Amino acid sequence: MRTPPRLLPLVEEGLVDEVISQLMSGKEATVYIVRCGDKVCCAKVYKEANKRSFHTNVSYQEGRKVKNSREARAMAKGSSYGRKKAEEVWQSAEVDALYKLAAVGVRVPQPHICFDGVLLMDMVADVDGNAAPRLNDVELNEETALAYHAMLINQVVRMLCAGVIHGDLSEYNILVSEDGPVIIDLPQAIDAASNSQAFEMFERDVINLRTYFSAFAPTLKDTRFANEIWAHYQSGLLTPELALSGEFALDESVVDTEAVLQQVEMAIREDEIRRMCQ
């Protein structure tokens, strides 16, 4: 096929030898199958900010680090320089997340380089060596649904152990390779420790998995993996090898506010009495 303009710099630099075909076009990027020497890879071409219809709100940007305060101020003001830097941060977030997660055994595409707004990475292949389908395009039975759900729960645990939350996980950004699910699309990934909405985003990711797979395996409908995993994470006891049950008892006890205030008032009075007696 004709080489898209955004891929020409990679061809000129010798990073890509041939553009084979367009694989998919989504809300944030267009992905092409390319040949790099003897290897078939994917080139993810990020769309410009004004052509994207995705998460650019502050809830996803919170906690992301920039090189210096000047860049942070420019991004906050929305100047042309700030918008350019915001785009670089957006794109580098996925590259950084992919490298970090691949290093700890999370099933994600292996990244190679991000050059001029294009991410070059391994192509996830099916059993025949073709581009792997999305999860929502694969027919499932109950046994396979349970197996894939268990694999993905382990993956989100591994991600959380590495301090990363996907933030938009669903059947549309999971590929099914010859040996199981692979998680893709991470430009909106957040840092679990520095984002105030981390639990809400993590819970949504896990509930999305439950909702999708429970249509094939109804026993998953009442599971509470998000709460169980997060409780272990907060206690510092979460590990990829941790055996999970999917059960979690929410604390629904009602706090007696009046009694608490009385205890506080009594403590204040006792302290005042001690000071007077000194």
**Is 184 part of a structural domain of the chain?**
yes
Total domains, the chain: 1
Cα distance between the two ends of the chain: 89
Distances (CA, A) of 61 to 55, 77, 92, 107, 267: 9, 14, 12, 24, 42
**Is 103 part of a structural domain of the chain?**
yes
Q: How much is the pLDDT for 63?
A: 53
**Is 273 part of a structural domain of the chain?**
no
Q: How much is the pLDDT for 257?
A: 63
pTM of the model: 0.80
Helix (H, G, I), strand (E, B) or coil at 39: strand
Q: Which value, to the nearest 10 degrees, does the dihedral of the CA atoms of residues 164, 121, 90, 236 take? A: 10
Distance CA 110, CA 120 (A): 9
Query: 61-68 long-range contacts, Cβ below 8 Å, gap at least 24?
Result: 61/86, 61/89, 62/190, 62/194, 62/195, 62/196, 62/197, 63/190, 63/191, 63/193, 63/194, 63/195, 64/89, 64/93, 64/190, 64/191
**Is 252 part of a structural domain of the chain?**
no
Structure tokens at 58: 């502050």
Q: How much is the pLDDT for 57?
A: 52
| CATH code, domain with 97 | 1.10.510.10
Q: How much is the pLDDT for 116?
A: 84
**Is 258 part of a structural domain of the chain?**
no
Distance CA 94, CA 112 (A): 12
**Is 209 part of a structural domain of the chain?**
yes
Distances (CA, A) of 37 to 11, 66, 112, 125, 160: 12, 35, 14, 18, 35
Helix 142-161 crosses helix 198-214 at what angle (to 10 degrees)? 170
**Is 270 part of a structural domain of the chain?**
no
**Backbone φ and ψ of 234, nearest 5°:** -65, -30
**Is 98 part of a structural domain of the chain?**
yes
Q: How much is the pLDDT for 124?
A: 97
Distance CA 147, CA 30 (A): 30
Structure tokens at 200: 């809400």
One-letter amino acid of 209: L
Instruction: Tally the residues of the chain.
Output: 278
| Residues 171/136, Cβ–Cβ less than 8 Å | yes
With a cut of 50, which residues of the chain have pLDDT below it?
53-56, 74-75
Range of the structural domain that residue 30 is part of:
5-235
